[in-house]
Each structure stands twice: as C-alpha cells, then as structure tokens.
Amino acid sequence: MSMWQLMAALEGYAEAHDPKREERLSEADKDELAAWLGIGSASDIRK
C-alpha cells in the first residue's frame, strides 16, 4: 500500500466516523453497499 492510498483510506475513515457530520447513509444506501460488498444486507449484519 502506498502512502497516498493509506492517507486516502484514513481520510475516508475519518469522514465516515465524524459524529458532527449530518449526512448519513440511508437504510437503502446501506443495503446497496452491503450487497455490492457481497455481505448480504445491512439489516442482517445488525442482528
């Protein structure tokens, strides 16, 4: 992994876990992402 890839990953992680951020993924977006990753639906993961 290059330095640029690491920095991009860290920046993405920080943005995704910012408690002050108002934009959250909808349930449909979460399910779509889970399906794209091949891990079922997001609602299955939370159970």
pLDDT in tens, 25-45: 778 888 887 888 787 766 665
| pLDDT of residue 16 exceeding 70 | yes
Residue 6 in this model has a pLDDT that exceeds 80: yes
Number of domains in the chain: 1
CA–CA dist 33, 38 (Å, integer): 9
Closest C-alpha among 21, 39, 14 to residue 6: 14
Predicted pLDDT of residue 37: 77
Residue 19's domain comprises: 3-46
Owner of token pair 């349930």: 27
